[in-house]
Amino acid sequence: MKKLLLFPLLLCYSYFALPHGYIEYPASRAYLCKLQTNKNCGAIQYEPQSVEGLKGFPQKGPVDGKIASAGVAAFSSIDVQNPFRWTRMLIETPDFDFFWRLTAIHKTTKWEYFITRKDWNPSEPLTRSQFELTPFCKYEKVETPPSLVQHNCKLPQNYQGYHIVLGVWTINDTGNAFYQVIDIEIDYKQ
């Protein structure tokens, strides 16, 4: 009987031991909720590392309108999109480093970064049609990463103003990926 009870517990442990991570810099929407810079965020403030959904963006992955939360109902508060809701990170140069903080490490397939289109509407939900569907930065390598991952990327040079970057961390041996949106204000200094 004790062995029968142990098996479901081990299954639960293996589910919750899956990898987790968030973009620490520039701070993602979820991470700013944890820091309480973004207010009234709900459950995401306790678990910015848990924005996990099906991998395969943009062909698969979270449904339109639920991209920021990866479709996790408990995190739906971060799907709210309007020009005034979220704190923006100032970006003054197109050469930029992204830092992921991994709270549980797992073999990785790739990291990708997408940006909203130049003509996106910040008052509309985040959908695939709001994003450039080709990543502006991509790192592909099957590896087990360290707990702090740095990617040097080059943002599009002809962008200005409010945009959103979507960072996607694709896990190698599960059907999932982690999604992080970053609200940025681009003001390149010449």
* Mean residue pLDDT across the chain: 91
Reply yes or no on whether the pLDDT at 24 is more than 50: yes
Would you say residue 5 lies in a domain? no
CATH of the domain at 172: 2.70.50.50
Would you say residue 174 lies in a domain? yes
Reply yes or no on whether the pLDDT at 49 is more than 80: yes
pLDDT of residue 173: 87
59/40 Cα distance (integer angstroms): 31
Would you say residue 6 lies in a domain? no
pLDDT of residue 15: 38
Reply yes or no on whether the pLDDT at 90 is more than 60: yes
Would you say residue 147 lies in a domain? yes
For the chain, the maximum distance between any two Cα atoms, rounded to a whole number of angstroms, is: 70
Burial track 40-50 (b if 16+ CB lie within 10 A, e otherwise)? ebeebbebbbb
Domain residues for the domain of 88 are 20-186
Would you say residue 3 lies in a domain? no
pLDDT of residue 181: 99
- What lies within 8 Å, CB to CB, of 87 at 6+ separation is 27, 32, 37, 38, 183
Would you say residue 9 lies in a domain? no
Would you say residue 7 lies in a domain? no
- What lies within 8 Å, CB to CB, of 152 at 6+ separation is 95, 96, 97
pLDDT of residue 106: 84
